[in-house]
């Protein structure tokens, strides 16, 4: 079974790169360009893991993460924050919002793939 993954990022290039990378590894991938699109997609798509850009237009990624973690239907989804702004203390904000991990941009693809696989395996979930 292939693990479904949602990528939420407002940068089309980042979305395409992450999607191609994860699909080439066997993941079932859906994408959203903002929080509202992600919420709409989550009505019909149940990912095991979300790659969440922190800086989104409108509702940011941390607000969306808090909302998802507060909802019994989505609280168990693994959320890995993606951020270009890793300042001291930002990791605490991401974890406080409910993120399970975070990765700084630019993405190091091997590291990202290992992180995804380790989080899915730790929860006993199949991965690609």
Quickly state the pLDDT bin for 26 (edges 50, 70, 90).
very high
Instruction: Answer whether 78's CB lies under 8 Å from 49's CB.
Output: yes
Q: What is the pTM of this model?
A: 0.92
Cα 75 → chain centroid: 13
CATH number at residue 26: 3.40.50.2300
Count how many domains the chain has.
1
Rounded percentage of the chain residues whose pLDDT exceeds 70: 95
Q: Tell me: the pLDDT tens digits for 75-110?
A: 999 999 998 876 777 788 999 999 999 998 877 888
- Tell whether 111 is covered by a domain: yes
Structural domain of 93? 4-121
Measured between alpha carbons, how far is 47 from 39 in angstroms, rounded to an integer?
12
- Tell whether 128 is covered by a domain: no
- Tell whether 83 is covered by a domain: yes
- Tell whether 70 is covered by a domain: yes
- Tell whether 16 is covered by a domain: yes
- Tell whether 76 is covered by a domain: yes
């Amino acid at each position: 079974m292939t693990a479904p993954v949602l990528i939420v990022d407002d940068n089309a290039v980042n979305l395409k790169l992450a999607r191609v990378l994860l699909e080439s590894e066997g993941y079932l991938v859906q994408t959203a360009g903002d929080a509202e699109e992600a919420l709409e997609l989550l009505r019909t798509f149940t990912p095991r893991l979300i790659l969440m850009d922190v800086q989104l237009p409108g509702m940011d990624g941390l607000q969306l993460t808090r909302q998802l973690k507060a909802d019994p239907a989505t609280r168990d989804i693994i959320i890995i924050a993606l951020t270009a702004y890793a300042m001291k203390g930002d990791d605490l904000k991401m974890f406080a919002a409910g993120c399970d991990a975070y990765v700084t941009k630019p993405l190091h693809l091997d590291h990202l793939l290992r992180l995804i696989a380790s989080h899915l395996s730790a929860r006993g979930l199949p991965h690609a």
